[in-house]
Structure 1
Amino acid sequence: MSRRQTLKTALVTAVGAALTACSRPPTPATASTSPPAGRWRMPDETHPHELTYMAWPTRRIWGADASGVRDDIAGIARAVARFEPVVLLADERDVKAAAKACGSGVEVLPIPVDDLWMRDTGPSFVLGPDGIAGVDLNFNGWGDKQAHAHDARVAREVLADEDIRRIKAPIVGEGGSIEVDGQGTLMATESSWVNDNRNPGKSRNDIERALKDLFGATAVIWVKGVKGQDITDYHIDALARFSEPGVVVMSTPDPEAPRDVWTAAYDQARGVLDRAVDARGERLEIVELPEPVDVGRRGADFLASYVNYYVVNGGVVLPRFGDARADRDAVAVVRDLYPGRQVVQVSVDTLGEGGGGVHCATQQLPKER
């Protein structure tokens, strides 16, 4: 019985019951090097989830900040577990501590990791006539910027554990560098794809063809992004998200913010999206989600983006930054974008210092339907 079958049974028989960590060795996932064109499609995030994957940060990466970032991850895991099961990967020596911090609604799976960014290291799941598959984007530490011996294997380990078909992508990238509407439209930043630290010798057209084949897209909207200023080379999921087909919510700088590479990237992206059409040939509606202003003294890498939220079954998990007015306004905007879903805010102070947020730390396994 696979983990998904086990979770289905557990939910039917005892909703909210504790899930038991499984220590069996993974079996090899069925792999293919590339999918037949048009066979698979990536559903949008509002598609029902079987569960959410997360990962436990290690001290070898986070050092003195490990306690703080672990508090953030545990807070996110507990928030997500209110809506759907959570499976958290952790080094074997960290399993007990992670389970204690996250509570009984979170299953801790002993799979070695380097870091917590499951959106980037985990598989990006796609659906097709044969069920479900996971795209392994060949994580390389965001262009060899960070040690990733374990994280490079996370996608294949997860797929082997679930006995889900693995699709090895012909390109290198991360899950946070794509955003889909589930209806054939994909958004991406050139800076994190058309980059020699991931895809040397490949043109934007080469990469676009691969993205279309991998994720079932018929239209790709490219924005320029920013190279070399953050570890991800500017992922799309901190800038712009689809709340539904035809509606894009953008992380919007304060009008009084000083001009820099980030405001310039926003302006360029806004211009592109104002003119863009989706896979249906329709113009996009742009919804602004203002960034916080009063976040205290933060490092240069601090990610103050409410757009890096995560949609769960029946809810949305949204960052809280401590700017009371901005936090309150963000909840109101997101409630309007996702009517009928409960919006839960969580603090991500240390996580934000590491350049990421709620969405970066999570990866959904969609239900097959």
Structure 2
Amino acid sequence: MPAEAGHHTATWMAYGATAQAWGTRGVYGASRLVARKDLMRIAANVSRFEPVKVLISNLGDQRQAMRFLDEVRRETPTFAGLTQLPAVESAGAIQFLLCPLDDLWIRDTGPVFVCDDQHRLFGVDLNFNGWGQEDTGVAGWQKDREKAKYGVVDQPVAKDRKIAQFVMKQSGAVPLRTGLVMEGGSIEVDGYGTAICTESSILNANRNPGCTKEDVERELLRLFGVRKVIWLPGLRSRDITDGHVDFYARFVGEATVVYSLENDPGNLDYASTQHNRHILSEATDARGNKLRTVALVSPRALTVRASVEARNGWDRGRSWFNAEGFAAGYVGFYATQACVVVAKFGDKSADEAALEVVRDAHPNRAVIQIYTDGLANGGGTIHCATQQQPWPCPCSTNPITERIRQPGIAELRTSFSRTSWG
């Protein structure tokens, strides 16, 4: 699995946030169209540098998306720092593909792409089960009832469970099958054989009952060429993903990680991000290099709330700000070979500090900072709403075909063949 910030054939997105998934009332109902416009803001900026393929449920949604695209085209920046940006869709028109959808989180519902040393593209279907809500049919599977206690509710996922196969067919990727149940947002790789994952998401009875770290690591080796996993504890039950790693830590180069740091002791993420800092500061990568770590400090919650409410007109009457689930973190950026799209939240000092960190980590890329109030109010980030399709290239650090030919690989295959997915 190549690092995200490499050559891409395209970026995939999904124009979800359907009324069935988000509802039409309450916090999510009020955020739904804001999130859809956020999607087109992301697509517009990424399309300056590479093709963007957007899954869309119907022609009515496509017409709406085109209206939002026209609006964001007029408001998108022409400069990133001192760098003049190419025009929107300079890398080609944003392409819409009809596909039934439930939601927009294609990082989790779509396939994870990998390459081999013979220029072949593979896609891994990770058996999306609604972040643990759907029974996988494996003995020991348990739905996490604690989520409901914290206000996390199930949503329709039947259509989204078919997206990985649809995208692989459209992209021409060769399918790689597994019995492992996880999401793209639950693994972060450096492209050199190292991954960061959270225990709370993958080692969870609502996805992989009875599996140990060793079981999962063997399958990550076969699927992604991962030779070492740095495990973070994560945070179970408090959000729909059970604490995906792409909200906590990201590689920005060999042996270099940026991580989310919450300095408010009253915040839910305070203890977990402080613990993550300690683990990452002591960790080494698959090549034995000690990690260099850089903090992305979270914005101030009250400042963010006031800014979001004012920007969306939620400060008049009842507020639709998602105080318990607003994803105010900078780690959820999306990186291509030529640009990085990172969120801002209205806390000027924190936004500017995060922008500086991301720019320093990506010196040869245009870094574009945008508001994503709808996505964040829905509990997600720019990264959750995108999925990279790498340009197939020789990948000496991830020789998938060599691993498949290795003696004993049948044991690895059968160790995760316990489900109906085979």
TM-score of the pair, normalised by structure 2: 0.75
Task: Give the alignment partner of residue 168 of structure 2, picking from 134, 153, 159.
Answer: 159
Q: Is 1:82 aligned to residue 41 of structure 2?
A: no
Matched with 2:388 is 364
Structure 1 residue 291 displacement after superposition:
1.0
Matched with 1:332 is 356
Alpha-carbon distance between aligned partners in 1 of 2:276 and 2:9, rounded to the nearest angstrom = 33
Q: Is 1:127 aligned to residue 136 of structure 2?
A: no
Letter in 2 for 1:366: P
Local SS of the residue matching 2:155: coil
Q: Deviations over 1:278-335 (max 9, x none)?
A: 0011110110111111202542100111110000231100001011111111111111
Alpha-carbon distance between aligned partners in 2 of 1:128 and 1:99, rounded to the nearest angstrom = 37
Verify the 8 A CA contact 2:345 2:373 in the aligned structure 1.
yes
Verify the 8 A CA contact 1:226 1:261 in the aligned structure 2.
no
Q: Is 1:108 aligned to residue 132 of structure 2?
A: no
Verify the 8 A CA contact 1:170 1:210 in the aligned structure 2.
no
Structure 1 residue 236 displacement after superposition:
0.5
Matched with 2:64 is 97
Q: Is 1:281 aligned to residue 264 of structure 2?
A: no
Structure 1: any 5+ residue segments left out of the alignment? 1-41
Query: Which has the higher relative contact order, 1 or 2, with Cα contacts under 8 A spaced 6 or more apart?
Result: 2
Q: Is 1:315 aligned to residue 339 of structure 2?
A: yes
Verify the 8 A CA contact 1:98 1:108 in the aligned structure 2.
no
Alpha-carbon distance between aligned partners in 1 of 2:64 and 2:383, rounded to the nearest angstrom = 23
Q: Deviations over 1:249-272 (max 9, x none)?
A: 011113xx1245421111221221
Verify the 8 A CA contact 1:120 1:139 in the aligned structure 2.
yes
Matched with 1:303 is 327
Verify the 8 A CA contact 1:99 1:107 in the aligned structure 2.
no
Local SS of the residue matching 1:141: coil
Structure 1 residue 205 displacement after superposition:
1.7
- Kindly report which structure 2 residues correspond to 1:11-160, keeping only aligned pairs within 5 A, or say none: 42-57=1-16, 58-62=18-22, 63=24, 64=29, 65-93=31-59, 94-102=61-69, 105-130=93-118, 131-144=120-133, 145-160=154-169
Q: Deviations over 1:72-125 (max 9, x none)?
A: 111111111111110000102422322343366311100111100011111110
Task: Give the alignment partner of residue 225 of structure 1, picking from 229, 234, 237.
Answer: 234
Alpha-carbon distance between aligned partners in 2 of 1:260 and 1:317, rounded to the nearest angstrom = 26
Letter in 1 for 2:258: V
Structure 1 residue 163 displacement after superposition:
2.3
Alpha-carbon distance between aligned partners in 2 of 1:99 and 1:364, rounded to the nearest angstrom = 22
Matched with 2:82 is none
Q: Equivalent pairs: percent with the same residue?
A: 44
Local SS of the residue matching 2:295: strand
Local SS of the residue matching 2:304: coil
Alpha-carbon distance between aligned partners in 1 of 2:179 and 2:99, rounded to the nearest angstrom = 25
Matched with 1:24 is none
Q: Cα RMSD between the aligned structures?
A: 1.4
Matched with 2:257 is 248
TM-score of the pair, normalised by structure 1: 0.85
Alpha-carbon distance between aligned partners in 1 of 2:42 and 2:278, rounded to the nearest angstrom = 33
Verify the 8 A CA contact 1:95 1:109 in the aligned structure 2.
no
Structure 1 residue 54 displacement after superposition:
0.3
Alpha-carbon distance between aligned partners in 1 of 2:381 and 2:44, rounded to the nearest angstrom = 15
Alpha-carbon distance between aligned partners in 1 of 2:66 and 2:222, rounded to the nearest angstrom = 38
Letter in 1 for 2:297: P
